[in-house]
């Protein structure tokens, strides 16, 4: 198996599929709806959360024995806020336009339920290495959904991918637009993101019947 034991591998692969933070636990929906109109923003958001959750989980895990349990939420908030500020400043310095697009949603990573959830549920009770893997896994699961949603919304909504006009030019009427195709404006609105996430959930549960809850 090499680097990772079977148990450790599960920490990373589980959130990617059968325990996905968005489609199964239904956490972090707010940002998934708000910033996925463009693929680029989705990717940057995924990387930001990957950084915050990976590092944050390690930091909280290292401090887990010295944090008094009564004030642990405040301590966790301080950790995540510090990390988010780092991300925010880096984005503002190196990708100003993009940080404008993401606007408050970088700051709102602090309130992303996935992050606090992993701190509480995992980092407080596990060692730094396993916490790191858990953080990476969950952030990757979150990012995967963001990127899928971002891909479809940008492709169908704007006819571009990462800014490249893959379907032709809507004004010059080239490519698909020459035969009367038009961009779907609904895809750029948040309700459609919810529907796309819903469709992903639908597909996932159809493929794995064990995920369907009993009522």
Partner 1 sequence: MSLKRRLHILKRKYRGSKMAPAFNAIHTFLFLPDETTHGGTHIKAADDLKRTMNTVIMAMIPCLIFGMFNAGYQHYAALGDIQRVSAGFLSPEFWTLDNFLIGLIKILPLVVVSYGVGLGIEFLFAIIKKHEVEEGYLVTGMLVPLIVPVDIPLWMLAVAVAFGVVIGKEVFGGTGMNILNPALTIRAFLFFAYPTWMSGDKVWVHGAVERAATPDAISGETILGSLAQNADVGYSVMDMFLGFIPGSVGETSAFLILIGGLFLIFTKIGSWRIMLSSVLGALAMGLIFNWVIEAGVVGSSSKFYGLMNTVWWHHLLIGGFAFGTVFMATDPVTASQTNKGKWIYGFLVGFISIMIRVFNPAYPEGVMLAILLMNVFAPTIDHYVVQGNVKKRMKRLKAKTA
Least separation, in Å, of the C-beta of 71 and partner 1? 41
**Alpha-helical regions (H) of 103-189:** 104-107, 113-121, 128-158
DSSP-assigned states of every residue in 58-123: HHHHHTTTTS-GGGHHHHHHHHHHHHHHHHHHHHHHH-HHHHHHHTHHHHGGGG-HHHHHHHHHTG
Q: How far is the CB of 184 from partner 1 (least distance, A)?
A: 4
Cα(27)–Cα(214) distance, rounded to whole angstroms?
A: 20
Stretch that binds partner 1, among 8-16, 63-71, 136-144, 192-200 (CB under 8 A): 192-200
**Closer residue to partner 1 (CB): 26 or 195:** 195
Examine residue 189 and tell whether it contacts partner 1 (CB under 8 A): yes
As beta bridge partners, residue 136 has: none
66, 104, 180, 210: residue in contact with partner 1 (rule CB under 8 A): 180
Q: Which is nearer to partner 1, 121 or 199 (CB)?
A: 199
The SS3 of residue 29 is helix
Among 5, 103, 202, 208, binds partner 1 (CB under 8 A): 202
Question: Which residue, 125 or 198, is less far from partner 1 as judged by CB?
Answer: 198
User: Dmax over Cα atoms in the chain, in whole Å?
Assistant: 66
Q: Given the rule CB under 8 A, which of 16-24, 105-113, 124-132, 179-187 is the region that contacts partner 1?
A: 179-187
Residue ranges binding partner 1 (CB under 8 A): 180-182, 184-187, 189, 195, 198-199, 202
């Amino acid at each position: 198996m090499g680097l990772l034991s079977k148990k450790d591998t599960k920490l990373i692969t589980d959130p990617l599929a059968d325990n996905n933070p968005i489609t199964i636990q239904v956490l972090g929906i707010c940002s998934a709806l708000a910033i996925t109109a463009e693929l680029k923003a989705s990717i940057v958001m995924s990387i930001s959360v990957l950084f915050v959750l990976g590092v944050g989980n390690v930091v909280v895990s290292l401090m887990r024995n010295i944090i008094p349990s009564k004030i642990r939420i405040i301590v966790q908030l301080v950790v995540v806020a510090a990390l988010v500020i780092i991300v925010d400043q880096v984005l503002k310095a190196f990708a100003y336009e993009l940080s404008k697009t993401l606007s408050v949603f970088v700051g709102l990573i602090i309130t992303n339920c996935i992050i606090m959830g992993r701190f509480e549920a995992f980092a407080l009770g596990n060692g730094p290495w396993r916490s790191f893997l858990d953080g990476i896994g969950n952030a990757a699961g979150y990012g995967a959904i963001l990127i899928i949603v971002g891909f479809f919304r940008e492709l169908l909504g704007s006819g571009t991918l990462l800014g490249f006009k893959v379907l032709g030019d809507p004004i010059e009427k080239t490519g698909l637009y020459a035969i009367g195709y038009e961009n779907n404006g609904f895809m750029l609105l948040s309700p459609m993101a919810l529907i796309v996430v819903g469709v992903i959930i639908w597909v996932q549960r159809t493929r794995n019947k064990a995920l369907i809850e009993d009522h």
